[in-house]
Amino acid sequence: MSVRILALVGSLRAGSTNRQLAEAAVKVAPEGAEVSLYEGLADIPFYNEDVDVEGSVPASAARLREAAQAADAFLLVSPEYNGTIPAVLKNAIDWLSRPYGAGAFSGKPVAVVGTAFGQFGGVWAQDEARKSVGIAGGKVLEDVKLSIPGSLTRFAETHPADDAEVAAQLAEVVARLHGHAGESAAA
């Protein structure tokens, strides 16, 4: 059985090192795990309960929910914006948290990783993402973490997939997420 892992990237910038980190996750995924990057977070309007009713859900939000429902696990890849989670990633979590108690994250394993320019690699944002997705119903893997500091210099001329240390650490994260997703499916 193949495990489908949906990667949500909290940066919209074309040259984002966090997007590159997600691309690296696709490359290092173990056999039996399929990591796919969700495209289209920029198109989803801010969550609004007034439009989250049958017949009014924006098509972009419905596509996100459909992709998330089909996923067995999630990899959230978050930079840190002003000490916290980027709005685009928080918005995706909000849309996927509904309907209350039965959102797409419900009971599915979630790992959070990321890179940032600062010396701590975005841990505050990643901690906020873990908190938010946990409240949204995800089974947060608190011991599966990867925060890479100094992103602008470390990845200035090297893609994360070509950084042996980062690729190995990321492969371990994806393998552990894959394992937890397999356990959840078997339960």
What are phi and psi for residue 31, nearest 5 degrees?
-55, 135
pLDDT in tens, 121-172: 899 999 999 999 999 999 999 999 999 999 989 999 999 999 999 999 999 9
Q: How many residues does the chain have?
A: 187
Q: Tally Cβ neighbours within 10 Å of residue 120.
A: 13
The amino acid that residue 109 corresponds to is P
pLDDT in tens, 53-112: 999 999 999 999 999 999 999 999 999 999 999 999 999 999 999 998 889 999 999 999
Helix (H, G, I), strand (E, B) or coil at 129: helix
The candidate with the shortest Cα–Cα distance to 22, out of 33, 10, 40, is 10
Domains of the chain in start order, with CATH, are 3-186 (3.40.50.360)
The confidence score (pLDDT) of residue 140 equals 98
The confidence score (pLDDT) of residue 178 equals 97
Residue 11 clears pLDDT 80, i.e. is over it: yes
Please report, in angstroms and rounded to a whole number, the separation of the first and last CA atoms in the chain. Answer: 14
The confidence score (pLDDT) of residue 127 equals 97
The confidence score (pLDDT) of residue 86 equals 97
The confidence score (pLDDT) of residue 163 equals 95
Residue 184 clears pLDDT 80, i.e. is over it: no
Cis omega before residue 99 (within 30°)? yes
Cα(66)–Cα(104) distance, integer angstroms: 8
- Residue spans of alpha helices (H) in 11-122: 17-28, 59-70, 87-96
The confidence score (pLDDT) of residue 120 equals 86
Residue 40 clears pLDDT 70, i.e. is over it: yes
Q: State the residue for tokens 């989670």.
A: 85
